Copies of this chain bind each other. A is one copy, B any other.
Amino acid sequence: MKRFADVICVPAEKYAEYVEKHDNIWPSIVQMMRKAHIENFTIFHRNGYLFKYYEYTGDDYEADMKKLSDNQEHQQWLEFTAVCQKPVETAEVNQWWAPMDEIFHIL
């Protein structure tokens, strides 16, 4: 199992919309995330920042992520929620959620 965390911004005027969309996430998206071996997926918020945490339990991360990114409904979900997000200033070009490094862990 490998742990992942990413960060992105949510403009204040888009926060309620972002939460409302996730309160009503399309069931197909949840299903395909589980099939992609994504577990314990959580989003936290503070002061305009969103912090995403999840665990990958499969054995081919690249292949599982490609399946998600190739899926048309998944693309639609990302576009649907992307209007509520803004990459952090230090994100690379074409990077949406910006990855964080795991620097410490206790089981």
Query: What is the CA–CA distance of A51 and B43 in the complex, to the nearest angstrom?
Result: 12
Q: What residues on B are CB-neighbors of A7 within 8 Å? A: 46, 49, 51
Residue A93 CB within 8 A of the other chain: no
Residue A5 CB within 8 A of the other chain: yes
Residue A76 CB within 8 A of the other chain: no
Q: What residues on B are CB-neighbors of A53 within 8 Å? A: 5, 42, 53
Asked whether, in the complex, the Cβ of A101 is within 8 Å of the Cβ of B30, the reply is: no
Closest CB of chain B to A15's CB: distance in Å? 9
Query: What is the CA–CA distance of A23 and B105 in the complex, to the nearest angstrom?
Result: 10
Asked whether, in the complex, the Cβ of B107 is within 8 Å of the Cβ of A44, the reply is: no
Asked whether, in the complex, the Cβ of A40 is within 8 Å of the Cβ of B103, the reply is: no
